Amino acid sequence: MINAFKNGMKQLGTLTGHKMLRWQVNKGFENWVQGSNDQRLIEINGGYSTIAESIGCCNKRDIAKVKEILHAQAYGRFVFSDGSHGNMISLNITDRYRNQEPSKIRIILGDILLPNYVCRLQRGDRLLVPIGDLPPLHGSPNSHANQAQLQLLVFKEFSNQSKRLAQEGAVLIKIETWEQLAIESGLSPDKIKLIINHWCQPDLFNCFLERQGDEYRLASYYDRAQKFLEIQGRNRISNSQRGIRSIENKLKNSNKN
């Protein structure tokens, strides 16, 4: 059990780990959108192999990784950005096959994986970052997990610049910023131009980005995330304008007094 837990912690940073987290976040969001009685609940009729298929891992070796990741999430002690700590999920085996392997699994998502978690954060940390499908992955499989992490950092950059995205239809990411994002994700900055070019290929069905110089927008495959970010940007602009008007009104009232 201890070895499985240690392996699971290592697997959280792999491509399988990225796929698992994205699947869990999206399932929680789908439950919330559909008005589920319990948006935390994911019920699986099948074992770890069924979950592996659900997250897009078809290699038999991935089934063991999925088990290790779920056990690490359920029994690990994580420290979250709001200062709380605990596990990421609850994991229940509700039925087993004759060989004692799980045949029915219940996953209860922790707060960190749910849409309303952002409401618990400090105001300055409340920008929402969309979690989309993986981008077209480039080169050696050894770098694919790092590319998945890089994509999340790019989503974060889009969220930070959502006001610009709403106003001008694109965000500005200069090569120096790309290189810094590459370093943060564990990639060599020397490889970043190759990855950008691969992500921007319009003939790929999951093309990630559209590029014009140093300006980027999400490609049509990520249209839902693009629209979400634009709405967030418009809301931020509206809130800023209301804040300015509020300050102006306070100044006027203080001058009158």
Mean predicted confidence (pLDDT) in 70-94? 87
Of 32, 27, 7, residue with least CA distance to 17? 7
Please give the residue that has the higher pLDDT: either 117 or 96. Answer: 96
Interatomic CA distance for residues 237 and 257, integer angstroms: 31
Contacts for 140 with CB less than 8 Å, ≥ 6 apart: none
Longest dimension (CA), the chain: 82
- 160's enclosing H/E stretch is helix 144-160
For 47-55, the CB contacts below 8 A with 24+ separation are 47/97, 47/101, 47/102, 47/103, 47/105, 48/101, 48/102, 48/105, 50/105, 51/105, 54/23, 55/16, 55/19, 55/20, 55/22, 55/23
Which of these three, 121, 136, 167, is where a domain ends? 121
- Kindly state whether residues 133 and 114 are assigned to the same domain: no
Please give the residue that has the higher pLDDT: either 201 or 132. Answer: 201
- Kindly state whether residues 20 and 52 are assigned to the same domain: yes
- Structural domain includes residue 253: no
- Structural domain includes residue 249: no
| Number of domains composing the chain | 2
- Structural domain includes residue 248: no
- Structural domain includes residue 69: yes
Asked if the model's pLDDT at residue 200 lies above 90, the reply is yes
Q: How confident is the model at residue 59 (pLDDT cuts 50, 70, 90)?
A: confident
Residue 57 domain boundaries: 2-121
For residue 238 the two structure tokens come to 């509206």
- Structural domain includes residue 247: no
DSSP β-bridge partners for residue 93: 105
Which of these three, 73, 89, 121, is where a domain ends? 121
Which of these three, 83, 105, 121, is where a domain ends? 121
- Kindly state whether residues 115 and 132 are assigned to the same domain: no
- Kindly state whether residues 96 and 190 are assigned to the same domain: no
